[in-house]
Amino acid sequence: MVKLINGTEARSGTTIMVDGVACAVRSNDISKTGKHGHAKCRIEAIGVIDGKKRVFVTGGHERLEVPNINKNKAQVLNLVEDDKASIMDLESYETIEVPMMGDLKGQLAGEDQVEYWDIEGIKIIKRKL
């Protein structure tokens, strides 16, 4: 089920899809309606997965897609590569290889507990618990 919101409803902290990438809204500057009606929104967002800044302008009435994000807890089994870890979900006990965010690379070791996010089928480790 896809959730849609208007451009004017994209507040700071809201997660939206921008060019197929989940992004957290940092700011939304809404212009007043003009002579012919529609407000414009200048939205500045940061990619949840890649950390890239994205700025775009859209109409206030335009619909923006909100991604489905599942936050789960897991245990690190071992570090596979510099940027990947093999983890076991603490609810379903399934084992998966998941990429780590940049600042976690030196902090994780075997048997650590982590929170990982499943964003529209893409899984990443967000933080150490």
- pTM score, whole prediction: 0.79
Which percentage of the chain shows pLDDT scores above 90? 42
pLDDT value at 102 more than 70: no
Between 16 and 103, where is the model more confident?
A: 16
Mean pLDDT of the chain: 87
Buried b (16+ CB within 10 A) or exposed e, 51-90: eeebeeebebeeebbbbeeeeeebbbeebeeeeebebebe
The residue-averaged pLDDT of 61-82 equals 88
The residue-averaged pLDDT of 71-100 equals 87
Q: What is the band of 83 on the pLDDT scale with cuts at 50, 70, 90?
A: confident
d(CA 21, CA 26): 15
Domains of the chain, first to last = 3-66 (2.30.30.30), 69-128 (2.40.50.140)
Give the pLDDT confidence of 9-60 residue by residue, as tens digits: 999 999 999 988 999 999 999 998 777 778 899 999 999 888 899 999 998 8
